Chain A
Amino acid sequence: MSDSSLENLPKGWKSVPSDLGSDQTAFKGVQWGKAMMWIFLLSDTFIFSCFLISYMKGRASTVIDWPNTSHVFSLDFMGVPVPLLLIAIMTFVLITSSGTMALAVKYGYEKNKKMCGWFILATAIGGLIFVGMQAFEWSKLIHEGVRPWSNPFGAGQFGSYFFMITGFHGTHVSIGVIFLFIFARKVFRGDFDTGRRGFFTTMKSDYVSIEILGLYWHFVDLVWVFIFAFFYLW
């Protein structure tokens, strides 16, 4: 953020009471859109937490054995079943796309239009690959007879939690991919250099939007870290 007056404000813990009690903006040096994105992500954190906590409660309270996830999610590779192979690849794809997004934000702030646009495009393609693999995983499990109410591997609750949690996460990825493509177009068109007004908001474009988009995308990756740990590995 370009606000050199920030330098004169208190730093560290002293900045908290002084920023909050300043009778002005509480989040100094944070563009309002970025603050709003953070607050949205906080509420999204609560939604995903509720899902994962209800999954914990369901799994901990069933008297029937939980399906063995490394067996359920194994994939045959050259005739040998490899546990969690697809999930591991999905994890690496999502981390890769998170890395390209971080670089896109960096090049955005450097006003490097070309690099920023290409890295956003790479991120979008990573997201597409992820959603594609998730669709493959869903159809495979549905073919094997996994339903929200029952499955051949163990406790019946498995399916409902699986479809709910990964489905909600996949929806987030899909929405992110749509916005990544829209922003790649805006970057290549030079909206952020000319300050062209947005079609929907009619506000001047600014490279801070790339960081806001990045926050959303990193959050999607962050949620996957928790889903990977609790749902697939636990």
Chain B
Amino acid sequence: MSENIKIDKNKEKSQTTHKIGIYLWIWGLLFVLSFFSYMVDWYQFQGMLRWSLILFFMFLKAGLIMAFFMHLFWERYTLVNVLLWPMTAIACFVGLMVAEAQYTFFSRLIYFVLGG
């Protein structure tokens, strides 16, 4: 029994405090990724390449921050699910507003530029 408790305590410790190496690694990765996303502008990539690179580096950075700096990687699934599923609502909202923006853009083209 006492042995069991000892093992549990060790496991706890490994859950709440992590080795410094993992933080330094993530830190370094964030620096490198930020540098790369700055290079996207530096080399003036345009069009699809620019947008997909920006999104790729952005999601990678956001994922690393949330998973390791904010400890979501080590949290129980209930919390992770409660936090991440609402993001689908945001994705839906983005989709709706893209459609709305196109509608506004074309009506502006017709009424402002072509003059009705």
Contact residues of A with B, CB < 8 Å? Answer: 1-4, 6-7, 12-13, 15-16, 19-20, 26-30, 35, 38, 42, 45-46, 49, 53-54, 56-57, 60-63, 70, 83-84, 88, 91-92, 95, 98-99, 101-103, 106, 109-110, 211, 214-215, 218-219, 221-222, 225-226, 228-229, 232-234
Contacts and interface: CB of A to CB of B under 8 A. Distances in A.
Interface of B: 5, 8-9, 11-12, 15-18, 20, 23-24, 26-27, 30-31, 34, 37-38, 40-42, 44, 50-51, 54-55, 57-58, 61-62, 65-66, 68-71, 75-79, 81-83, 86-87, 90, 93-94, 97-98, 100-102, 104-105, 108-109, 112-113
B12 to A, nearest CB: 6
A177 B84 CA distance: 27
Q: Which 8 pairs, one residue from A and one from B, show the smallest C-beta to C-beta distance?
A: A60-B101, A61-B104, A99-B27, A229-B58, A4-B8, A19-B78, A61-B101, A61-B105
Contacts of A7: 8, 11
Nearest to B87: A45
A91 B112 contact: no
Contacts of B20: 103, 106
A53 to B, nearest CB: 5
A42 B82 CA distance: 9
Given A1-B16, A99-B27, A49 B90 contact: yes
B5 A4 contact: yes
A225 B41 contact: no
B49 to A, nearest CB: 13
Given A7-B8, A57-B97, A63-B109, A222 B51 contact: no
Contacts of A61: 100-102, 104-105, 108
Contacts, number: 157
B65 A221 contact: yes
A215 B42 contact: no
Contact of A234 (B26, B51, B82, B102): B51
